[in-house]
Chain A
């Protein structure tokens, strides 16, 4: 490379200006790119090549620095003695490394997006069809049912559920002390989708069921369609009996579909029971939790007085620990008495 040791010294700055590395390359027809502005236009092959050149130059400068140190440190800070433009080289090296790091980060980001691209390859009528299909349990459980492996529908359903939850939390006047409404809604929905999918996938692995993680994510995501419908209706129309009917019917249908698909992919009675029992319990209980956790306070009180066997889950500030049922019911009754006496 160009490590000139005797050519003309055109230093105009004490640290060795950038012109050195270009003019002094006698006999070389290569423009030294390291001292120009590092634009991101170069291709990755060129960058690899230049990185190689930089490494070699680094080695040269390191050798020179080693010999320089051996020579003593008289006023050597700016590299005036010994190799000329040493600091200049180092600065240029830093710039180059920073640029290269940025470029490789950008490359990784791009690569990551492309990994997900095949999972988003859907048409609108396919999405519509799968949405409707998620409420229709399959009949044939003797051979494995096909599960679509796409992520667009599930993601849109999770975001829709976040929006619906936000609406429910707002209208019920939920107070979140240590957090935000949006954060709680997003955390709940995504946490359920990703967490329960992973858990059921793990159980499926234990029970030897033939389902991949992507398929499980997709299945559970589409199962949230029933939840969205029920929550959308019952956050606006507040009748407990309506909620229970919808919970059983729509929640039940979507659970049955997921369960049937899993049964068709598992062998043996006990594994089927474990897997499907867990999934059914989690799915139905989640809908129950979502409804009652963000329910309007007034309706809750009145319904408590009507139906003594249904203690509503109290919506309190999140930092208060769960109290006993008795205390809760006593509080509700006293508040209801005050409300009724006004």
Chain B
């Protein structure tokens, strides 16, 4: 009996006859409970001690510093961008370049706000320029790279300050010139290594030139800095 039935009815024969009549309404109740209490246990960093947070961020910043000083073609700077490092560097540089009071004779020195504005608006303009030229890098990634590549210039500023402690002479000027030139070319080269990959091949020079100008202006501000006596 079973065999006859099986031969008469091939597999899935009855399925094509199934149809849903349109009179049967399909309804139900989809409700998604908003469980906001149990999703944060894995990712919440609110409960950890402050020391851990700060150390983690500092470690990330330090790792990026290392990437800048030895610019290999890694994407760590681009992948996890952050703006803490640039802020730190910018504030350090601006503080060191700051002049004395406004009534002093040496009023040609840049003020804190001037350096700050130059660095951030210069970075924004370079980023806009590279985006307009067809770059694939995002806005904040570019800001991050440009900010981190100020590190060699900050190091040069510290060295210049130390050299100037020994008095301002021709030798010290020559030393400072060499140091600043070296660090400025290092900065340009480092940022080019990160930024130029995101541009079409024949337009790299168009993107590199504003970066060169930007670091040139900062390097020149460092070179012409002379502390008040």
Contacts and interface: CB of A to CB of B under 8 A. Distances in A.
Interface of A: 18-19, 22-23, 25-27, 29, 31, 35-36, 113, 116-117, 119-124, 127, 152, 155-156, 159-160, 163, 166-167, 169-170, 173-177, 180-183
B73 to A, nearest CB: 22
B108 A170 contact: yes
B203 interface: yes
B29 A26 contact: yes
B133 A120 contact: yes
Contacts of A175: 107-108
Q: What DSSP secondary structure best describes chain B's contact surface?
A: helix
Contacts of B49: none
B2 interface: no
Contacts of B75: none
Given A170-B108, A170-B220, 12 more contacts: A18-B34, A19-B34, A22-B33, A35-B34, A120-B129, A120-B133, A124-B202, A159-B125, A163-B216, A166-B217, A182-B110, A182-B114
Contacts of A180: 110-111, 113-114
Pick the 6 closest A-B CB pairs, nearest first. A120-B132, A124-B205, A180-B114, A29-B30, A175-B107, A182-B114
B88 interface: no
Nearest to A166: B217
A74 B118 CA distance: 59
Interface string B98-118: 000010000110110110011
B31 A156 contact: no
B132 A113 contact: yes
B28 interface: yes
A174 B108 contact: yes
Contacts of B129: 120, 152, 155
Nearest to B118: A182
Q: Which of A117, A155, A159, A183 has the largest number of chain B CB atoms within 10 A?
A: A159
A170 B203 CA distance: 33
Contacts of B203: 123-124
Contacts of A18: 34
Contacts of B132: 113, 116-117, 119-120, 152
A25 B108 CA distance: 68
Contacts of A36: 34
Contacts of B182: none
Contact of A23 (B31, B110, B205, B210): B31
A27 B34 contact: no
Interface string B126-142: 00110111100000000
Contacts of B134: 117, 121
Contacts of A35: 34
Contacts of A123: 202-203, 206
Interface in B27-58: 27-34
A152 B133 CA distance: 9
30 contacts: A22-B34, A23-B31, A31-B30, A35-B34, A113-B132, A116-B132, A120-B132, A120-B133, A124-B202, A124-B206, A127-B206, A152-B206, A156-B209, A156-B213, A159-B125, A159-B210, A163-B213, A163-B220, A166-B220, A167-B220, A170-B224, A174-B108, A175-B108, A176-B107, A177-B107, A180-B110, A181-B110, A182-B110, A182-B117, A183-B114
B205 A159 contact: no
B32 A22 contact: yes
B103 to A, nearest CB: 9
Contact of A113 (B107, B113, B128, B220): B128
Contacts of A152: 129, 132-133, 206
A269 to B, nearest CB: 41
Interface in B179-229: 202-203, 205-206, 209-210, 213, 216-217, 220, 224
A181 B118 CA distance: 11
Nearest to B208: A124
B163 to A, nearest CB: 19
